[in-house]
Structure 1
Amino acid sequence: MDLSGTGVTDEDAVLSETIKGAARRLLAGSGATALSPDAVAREAGLPTADVEALFPHRDDLLTALVVDAYNASGAAMEQADLAARGTGAHAGARLLAVTRALREWSFANTADFTLIYGSPVPGYHAPQDTVPPASRTPAVLAGIVRAALEAGDLTPPRRTVPGPPLLLPDAVQLFGGVPEAPFSDIIERGIVLWSSLIGLLVFQVHSRTHDSVRDEPAFFDYAVAVAAEGIGLVVPLVGDSGREHD
């Protein structure tokens, strides 16, 4: 029965979650190239027709998984930020909280993390439906940077962007406009912070640092603090916050 008015029945919703659960197990075991309606049906113990009724093509299933992964990781960050703000945390502590939350989600959901931040799936082109969920992570970061800017918590940069603006209009809109000097390039700096965060997670989730770093959670915090210096934001670490790394 459809009680939501969306045309999706309770049975369809349950079946969809069963199918996506089977697809995630395949992702974890064999990667995205192993996904197909037939393979997912076998993994779920369902007729292929049941899978194809909800996800006619592999790309339909991939899109559903991508949307779920972006929404779940974004929600983890949003919840961490809400909790941090509830304690009166300043922007640096908020940034540490949300990046730790994303790290925790990434390690708990490595297949989903790899799907959205790993190598592109051959032949798959993400549709527009994935853009709003994908924007949740940068939106959390942008909100923290904006709050730091408005609170006067940022140190002015030594370097500014040479030449014409480097941004697309959507990036400016997400942040809420271009700030005045000396912070007129804070959006560019925020994108550097964002890309540094994702690159760091890729390294840690896929064990690229295990042979050079003794304490990976502590190194993660340190790297976030170093990246935050690029936007003029101080992030508290062990020694001044008293946190013990796990």
Structure 2
Amino acid sequence: MTEALGSAAPDDAATRTATLRTAAPRTARDRARAELTQEIKAAARRHLAAEGAQQLSLRAVARELGMASSALYRYFPSRDDLLTALIVDAYNAIGERVERAVEAAGAAEHPRAAWRGLCDAVRAWAREHPHEYALIYGSPVPGYQAPEDTLAPFSRVPFALLRILRDSGADFARPTRDAGLPQPLAAQLQAVVEAGGLDVPPPALARALFAWTGVFGMVSFELFGQLRASADPADPFFGYAVERHADLLGLA
């Protein structure tokens, strides 16, 4: 579909080198560092759950682990470095869950089932990891600027959606009902298409964006208690909305 969604064939020598690096045994020091890094991030997630991302403190994490703050700084030089690691992990975790669900549904043969799988995977992961979901899809952390390291992990879920639509056939690109796309929006989406090398017309991308934000809006409303007086439990509403978005996307 696109350079962004495709994968270039790697050079054989580069592939062999990468394979050797992956296969090379790690030293005991490397393993110890990796294990402690995971312990630090696990402690930080507990602090997220208890106090929220704004209150995350390297000193508090070090204190919980019985470490000197100076020792923890060798792993994460600042709070923002630790936040970035948690954000990358969260995006990769939800991305992996979504990709597995889409693959299991068979996107090429059953695009609507793949869309359902994507939506259900997003909702299930969010309900299992509400504080990590809030970290990546909730209110921004004051003073924190996400680096480019977060872009590729962030893209896994929207790219999974674009793959479903790409594999669904010509219906995805039908222009009929979107011929009147407002000019400012058409220009915005055309810039996205060109910057990402996407083989998607702006009207179709608008439908994808509408559906994508709709799913996350529903999940956020459920997770943060905004449906308690109307559609709680949210299963019937969520299922209904997922099907209507599938209709909008042209998924047979």
TM-score bin, normalised by smaller chain: 0.7 to 0.9
Letter in 1 for 2:177: R
Residue of structure 2 in register with 1:117 after alignment: 137
Asked if structure 2 preserves the Cα contact closer than 8 Å seen for 1:103 and 1:201, the reply is yes
Residue of structure 1 in register with 2:38 after alignment: 17
Distance change (3 Å), C-alpha of 1:67 and 1:196: same
Residue of structure 1 in register with 2:178 after alignment: 159
Superimposed CA distance per residue, residues 79-137 of structure 1 (whole angstroms, 9 cap, x where no aligned partner) = 01111118x75111110011101111111011110000000000000000000000001
Secondary structure of 1:49 counterpart: helix
1-structure distance, mates of 2:142, 2:235: 32
Q: Which runs of 4+ in 1 moved over 3 A?
A: 2-5, 152-157, 168-176
Superimposed CA distance per residue, residues 191-234 of structure 1 (whole angstroms, 9 cap, x where no aligned partner) = 11111111111101111112211431221121122223332235
| Cα offset, 1:171, TM superposition | 4.4
Asked if structure 1 preserves the Cα contact closer than 8 Å seen for 2:173 and 2:200, the reply is no
Number of residues of Structure 1 aligned to a counterpart in Structure 2? 226
Moved more, 187-196 or 208-217: 208-217
Residue of structure 1 in register with 2:151 after alignment: 131
2:119 aligned to 88, 93, 99, which one?
Answer: 99
2-structure distance, mates of 1:155, 1:218: 29
Secondary structure of 2:168 counterpart: helix
Asked if structure 1 preserves the Cα contact closer than 8 Å seen for 2:175 and 2:203, the reply is no
Which residues in structure 2 correspond to 1:35-46 (within 5 Å)?
Answer: 35-46=56-67
| Cα offset, 1:153, TM superposition | 6.9
2-structure distance, mates of 1:194, 1:40: 35
| Cα offset, 1:166, TM superposition | 2.5
Q: Which runs of 5+ in 2 are unaligned?
A: 1-21
| Cα offset, 1:186, TM superposition | 0.4
Residue of structure 1 in register with 2:14 after alignment: none
Which residues in structure 2 correspond to 1:196-211 (within 5 Å)?
Answer: 196-211=214-229
| Cα offset, 1:47, TM superposition | 2.3
TM-score (norm 1): 0.83
Asked if structure 1 preserves the Cα contact closer than 8 Å seen for 2:48 and 2:56, the reply is yes
Letter in 2 for 1:57: S
Secondary structure of 2:71 counterpart: helix
Counterpart check, 1:71 vs 2:92:
yes
Letter in 2 for 1:17: Q
2-structure distance, mates of 1:168, 1:162: 12
1-structure distance, mates of 2:153, 2:123: 18
Counterpart check, 1:48 vs 2:66:
no
Counterpart check, 1:188 vs 2:221:
no
Letter in 2 for 1:178: V
TM-score (norm 2): 0.81
Letter in 2 for 1:194: W
2-structure distance, mates of 1:29, 1:80: 30
2-structure distance, mates of 1:136, 1:125: 20
Superimposed CA distance per residue, residues 10-45 of structure 1 (whole angstroms, 9 cap, x where no aligned partner) = 111101100000000000111011111101112333
| Alignment RMSD (CA, Å) | 2.5
- Identical pairs, percent: 38
